[in-house]
Amino acid sequence: IDEEHLALVMADVSGKGVPAALFMMSSKILIIDHTLMGGTPAEILDKINKQVCSNNTVRMFVTVWLGILEISTGKLTSSSAGHEYPFIKTNGRYEIFKDKHGFVIGGMPKLKYKEYTIDMKPGSKLFLYTDGVPEATDAEKQLFGNERMVAALNEKPDGSPQEILKTVRSSVDAFVKDAEQFDDLTMLCLEYKG
């Protein structure tokens, strides 16, 4: 956003194919534009939701996790529009962070989103993902799930963000083997160095 603030976004659209891709593309533009115009994550999601709902003839929705990191202090202010819970590594291990979820973007026009803050210390890490990770399915129709995901994250919790992403992806691949998947996997890992 500027030299002092970094925006982090993870989003996932309902549906598949070209209509979903177009809906996601327009949502992405709104997220970028409103974030650059300023405001808190909750205020930004409020504005985006109103705009998407005003012309949502396809009745699609987007889940969004939006965080704004104050780089000098490590204060991460975040808001969730129905997105998956983030995982945070603060005391040597990753743990799920049960944030205050709001409703999805595009679902209801008169919503107010809530926000929360996380104090990132040097060495803290944040892991965000789309539902394609915990919902990855093996041949017996079992889900990868959050328990396997946190186990993968904690295999090498001190690894670099790139190593963390490779470890989680390898764990998902080993679990699903050759089973056909119906959703994409998107992941982001951030390490705050202070």
- Rounded to two decimals, the pTM is 0.93
Mean pLDDT of 37-63: 92
CB distance 187 to 133 below 8 Å: yes
- Who's near 58: CB < 8 A, 6+ residues apart? 19, 23
Quote the distance between the C-alpha of residue 123 and its chain's center.
Answer: 20
Express the helix, strand and coil content of the chain in percent, nearest 5 each.
30, 25, 45
Q: What is the pLDDT of residue 171?
A: 96
| Rounded Cα–Cα distance for residues 93 and 12 (Å) | 26
What pLDDT, in 10s, does the model give residues 65-108?
A: 999 999 999 999 999 999 999 999 988 999 999 988 899 999 89
CB distance 69 to 5 below 8 Å: yes
Tokens of 190: 């951030």
